[in-house]
Amino acid sequence: MPEPILLVGAGAMAIQYARVLEAMGREFVVLGRGQESADAFRAETGVTPTTGPLGEQLATLAAVPDEVIVTVNAMHLAEVTVAVARAGAKRILVEKPAALDADEVQSLLDVASGTGAEIRVAYNRRFLASVIAVRQMIAEDGGVLSVKFDFSEPARRIGAMGKPERELDAWFFANSTHVVDLAFSFVGPVDLAAGAVVGGVDWHPAGGVFAGFARSVDGALLSWHANWAGPGRWGVEVITPERRLILRPLEGLSVQDHSSFAEQVVDIDLGPDAEFKPGLYRQVQAFLTGEESEHLPDIAEHARQWPLYEAVCTGTVFRRER
């Protein structure tokens, strides 16, 4: 029998991971923080997390399991990942965005180098049934010509959620990179990007409207336009020589071909997305088995992308070092 997986965090996302692990027949141990979230986790899953300071909880374990999933609040992802790596974890799946700034990214790179721990970043949208269908169509059509994407956020609803100031300041990394990461994943490495940012919203005065373009190493062009000050929603369009592949919402897929202006909805086999949080089952499967792991970025790849994401967020220029 495989050893239990350590699940660090007992919030809403941890419950989703627990459902997947239970369906896979994998045992898991849960370390929570406060009693309220631990009680909610137990009510949903039947599993009782321990609570308290992380270091004390880790010290009570006979040994830290080799495989760990970190799914705590975004503000604590990096420090918790560093702690479990130093405690002996061999393979760690950390919820996106793994860090909220460049210093935290560097701390993850340092701990991976110092301990030999493999750290993977969990962007579950890469594993959506719709995205898998898009990748298949890209292969059939001979590659990607261009990509358009929109990471607009419902700013008024977000502002009313009572989130901590640091999480709101880093909302682009904590949430919007779901879309940004997915869009760039379709074209591979980018050698140039430039953008502009204007305006702001009350909880994010650093920017409210974002626009820009990028060029991949392979010659595909990307463009983005996102507006947090007005209404909008996430979306990605991938244009191949044969089709325009439209992910809006990301969980659905419509296609336009050369024969018509009409967009045809594609009937997708949802597979596990019909039962679990979309993308999560396949993501966990990739982490545990190594299959499809090219779609599960390690911390080194994530660090290479971070300056690109910063350029999108701040409206500056990015050039990849050769």
pLDDT of amino acid 62:
87
Same domain, 18 and 138: no
Residue 251, φ and ψ in degrees, nearest 5:
-80, -10
Same domain, 113 and 132: no
Same domain, 94 and 133: no
* Boundary of a domain, candidates 79, 102, 122: 122
Same domain, 217 and 311: yes
Report the Cα 102 to chain-centroid distance in Å.
17
| DSSP SS3 for 321 | coil
Both tokens of 244, joined, read 């325009």
Number of structural domains the chain divides into: 2
* Boundary of a domain, candidates 81, 98, 122: 122
- Boundaries of domain holding 100: 5-122
Same domain, 172 and 303: yes
Separation between Cα atoms, residue 127 and residue 273, nearest integer Å: 9
* Boundary of a domain, candidates 99, 122, 145: 122
Separation between Cα atoms, residue 43 and residue 23, nearest integer Å: 17
pLDDT per residue of the chain (322 residues) written in tens, 0 to 9? 688 999 999 999 999 999 999 999 999 999 999 899 999 999 999 999 999 999 999 999 989 999 999 999 999 999 999 999 999 999 999 999 999 999 999 999 999 999 999 999 999 999 999 999 999 999 999 999 999 999 999 999 999 999 999 999 999 999 999 999 999 999 999 999 999 999 999 999 999 999 999 999 999 999 999 999 999 999 999 999 999 999 999 999 999 999 999 999 999 999 999 999 999 999 999 999 988 888 999 999 999 999 999 999 999 999 987 6
Cα–Cα distances in Å, from 155 out to 208, 229, 315, 318?
9, 7, 19, 27
Same domain, 84 and 133: no
CATH number at residue 106: 3.40.50.720
pLDDT of amino acid 1:
67
Query: Which residues, 6+ apart, have CB-to-CB distance to 103 below 8 Å?
Result: none
Cα–Cα distances in Å, from 182 out to 55, 121, 130, 141, 205?
34, 13, 12, 19, 26
pLDDT of amino acid 322:
65
Residue 14, φ and ψ in degrees, nearest 5:
-60, -35
Query: Taking the CB of residue 320, how many other CB atoms lie within 10 A of it?
Result: 13
Among 45, 40, 93, CA closest to 65: 93
- At CB < 8 A and 24+ separation, what contacts does 135-141 make? 135/186, 137/240, 137/243, 137/245, 137/255, 138/186, 138/238, 138/240, 138/245, 140/242, 141/240, 141/241, 141/242, 141/243
The 10 Å CB-count burial string (b at 16+, else e) for 30-46 is: bbbbeeebbebbeeebe
The 10 Å CB-count burial string (b at 16+, else e) for 154-164 is: ebeebeeeebe
| DSSP SS3 for 27 | coil
pLDDT of amino acid 293:
82
Query: Which residues, 6+ apart, have CB-to-CB distance to 179 below 8 Å?
Result: 125, 149, 150, 151, 234, 235, 236, 250
pLDDT of amino acid 73:
93
Residue 197 bridge partners (DSSP): 210
